[in-house]
Amino acid sequence: MDALVDGHYRAEESGDLEAIVDGFTADAQHDVVGRPGDALHGGDQIAGFYRALFEEMRIDRFEPVRRWYGDDHVVDESILHATANGHPFGLEGRGRPVRSRFLHIFDFTDGLISRESAWIDLAAIQQQLSD
């Protein structure tokens, strides 16, 4: 499970859409709490989400805080370090660094991620990018 989560984060850091999608089952769900709309389903929708995200923000690294494990899931708390290049979350980035706490729940099926649920401290990002 650690290898899958760490590989997922490394793919996000390198902007590797193919590696991100390859880490998910074909029918995977992807849900970012607070994002408009329902959870995403399948590789095409997941790739579309990350493609749009990478246009707005470069993910520099995830700083591990702690992880909790179940039989088929991991809860990961980390700190996102990123650079806001576009207009992430509707705010002007201007190439500024942002830092935010992040909580992920990853569910696994057959050695791949079958669901990713994420909560981000959006208030911290808004505070850092406000003028």
Q: How far apart are CA 23 and CA 19, in angstroms?
A: 6
Task: Quote the domain boundaries for residue 50.
Answer: 2-129
The structural domain count of the chain equals 1
| Strand ranges across the sheet with 112-120 | 40-41, 24-32, 112-120, 96-109, 73-84, 57-69
CA 109, CA 59: separation in Å to the nearest integer? 26
Encode the chain (131 residues) as per-residue pLDDT tens digits: 999 999 999 999 999 999 999 999 999 999 999 888 899 999 999 999 999 999 999 999 999 999 999 999 999 999 999 999 999 988 899 999 999 999 999 999 999 999 999 999 999 999 999 87
The CATH number of the domain holding residue 64 is 3.10.450.50
SS3 86: coil
pTM for the full model? 0.93
Kindly report the backbone phi and psi dihedral angles of residue 38, in degrees, each rounded to the nearest multiple of 5, phi listed first: -80, 175
The C-alpha atoms of residue 16 and residue 6 are separated, in whole angstroms, by: 14
